[in-house]
């Protein structure tokens, strides 16, 4: 059977690049594998589009239903972020860099989950362990993914392994200036002009189960908060509409990459819980959290403690 390699919902560059990389590795090892994503090519986020175009890669195929398929999950292991009917699929592998999720299997499978900044860092190691050369275009996407996920090595999730992986992958990809590559991606990622607020909210968004309460967290990485000054009301309305769809809380991290902090916008049934989670005080609808760059390492763990998970 074909193995469908799939990243999380609302795929970011790591999910897209990791799916392509794992499928490439699996095919080199004799498997029938194809990279897929939970998005159409047209709806893919701007940063990932720039990366795919830069390195001459086709977007993974869209998957809407996992039922009856063999699935390899990359960049997640949560049911809520997996393709529809994942419980009716056969999960055959997980490669990730997040906390262990709630996916279960009936038989032993390959699992490679490491505390690093990016799934592509894990995959770089897997290519080496299997003595498989990484194609130039795939190495480029993997380089970009690591730079993106680690915010050019500024994120607290970044490790020495991530830096070493970029040092190995960039020459394979013909990338001589990783700083310039990151800035090109940031320009695409932070572009907001003419984009509907709902699309911006879901550009990099995940839902989480916090002790039985559904909490959504989106993130926009920006060169300056001034980029969203004129559309803050529209973003708030999009958050309120999203919360009304059965959520206890919706948060939007407006992350200033230059100042290295986040203006956290809050729509919640219990705003005091969110204030307590981060030691802040909501001024209007948001508050500044200095040093907050990572949803995975800084936002979600604090929320889990606050909600008693």
**What confidence tens digit (pLDDT) does each residue in 151-176 have?**
999 999 999 999 999 999 999 999 99
Contacts of 82 (CB under 8 A, 6+ apart): 6, 8, 9, 66, 71, 73, 76, 103
Higher pLDDT, residue 223 or 74 = 74
Q: Which helix (H) or strand (E) holds 244?
A: none
Whole-number CA gyration radius for the chain: 19
Helices 119-129 and 160-173 cross at an angle (nearest 10°) of 70
CA distance 90 to 104: 10
Q: Residue 160 burial by CB count (10 A; 0-12/13-18/19+): exposed, middle or buried?
A: exposed
Residues of the chain with pLDDT > 70, as a percent, come to 100
CA distance 274 to 241: 19
CA distance 230 to 225: 10
Per-residue CA distances from 176 to 27, 150, 161 (Å): 28, 18, 19
Answer whether residue 309 shows pLDDT above 90.
no
Answer whether residue 71 shows pLDDT above 90.
yes
CA distance 73 to 103: 10
DSSP letter (8 states) at residue 298: I
Region 211-230 average pLDDT: 95
φ, ψ dihedrals at 41, nearest 5°: -60, -35
DSSP letter (8 states) at residue 283: B
**What confidence tens digit (pLDDT) does each residue in 73-91 have?**
999 999 999 999 999 999 9
Grade residue 24 by pLDDT with cuts at 50, 70 and 90: very high
- Selection from 104, 98, 99, 64 nearest residue 83 by Cα: 64
pTM here?
Answer: 0.83
Mean model confidence pLDDT for the chain:
96
Pairing label, strands 286-290, 205-210: unpaired
Report the Cα 38 to chain-centroid distance in Å.
Answer: 12
CA distance 22 to 160: 22
CA distance 59 to 74: 16
Give the domain 3-187 fold. inorganic pyrophosphatase (n-terminal core) (3.90.1640)
- Is-contact 260 266, C-beta < 8 A? no
3-state DSSP assignment of residue 296: helix
188: number of Cβ within 10 Å: 17
User: Domain 197-306 belongs to what architecture?
Assistant: Roll (3.10)
User: Which long-range contacts (C-beta less than 8 Å, at least 24 apart) are formed by 303-306?
Assistant: 303/208, 303/210, 303/215, 303/217, 303/274, 303/277, 304/210, 305/277, 306/273, 306/274, 306/276, 306/277
CA distance 92 to 73: 8
- Is-contact 86 71, C-beta < 8 A? yes
**What confidence tens digit (pLDDT) does each residue in 264-295 have?**
999 999 999 999 999 999 999 999 999 999 99
């Amino acid at each position: 059977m074909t193995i469908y390699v799939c990243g999380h919902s609302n795929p970011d560059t790591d999910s897209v690049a990791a799916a392509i990389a794992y499928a490439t590795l699996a095919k080199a090892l004799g498997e029938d594998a194809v990279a897929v994503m939970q998005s159409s090519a047209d709806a893919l986020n701007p940063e990932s589009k720039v990366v795919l175009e830069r390195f001459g890669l086709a977007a993974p195929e869209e998957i809407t239903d996992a039922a009856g398929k063999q699935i390899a999950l990359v960049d997640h292991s949560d049911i809520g972020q997996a393709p529809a009917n994942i419980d009716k699929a056969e999960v055959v592998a997980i490669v990730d860099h997040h906390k262990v999720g709630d996916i279960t299997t009936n038989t032993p499978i390959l699992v490679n989950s490491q505390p690093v900044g990016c799934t592509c860092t894990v995959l770089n190691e897997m290519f080496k362990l299997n003595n498989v050369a990484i194609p130039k275009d795939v190495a480029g996407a993997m380089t970009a993914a690591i730079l993106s996920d680690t915010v050019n090595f500024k994120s607290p999730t970044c490790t020495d392994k991530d830096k070493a992986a970029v040092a190995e992958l960039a020459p394979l990809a013909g990338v001589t200036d990783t700083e310039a590559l990151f800035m090109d991606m940031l320009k695409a990622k932070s572009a907001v002009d003419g984009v509907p607020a709902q699309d911006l909210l879901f550009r990099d968004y995940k839902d989480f189960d916090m002790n039985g309460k559904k909490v959504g967290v989106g993130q926009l990485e920006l060169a300056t908060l001034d980029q969203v000054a004129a559309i803050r009301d529209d973003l708030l309305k999009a958050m309120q509409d999203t919360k009304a769809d059965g959520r206890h809380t919706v948060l939007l991290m407006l992350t200033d990459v230059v100042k290295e902090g986040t203006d956290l916008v809050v729509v919640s049934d219990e705003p005091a819980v969110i204030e307590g989670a981060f030691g802040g005080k909501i001024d209007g609808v948001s508050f500044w959290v200095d040093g907050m760059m990572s949803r995975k390492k800084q936002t979600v763990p604090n929320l889990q403690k606050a909600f008693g998970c």
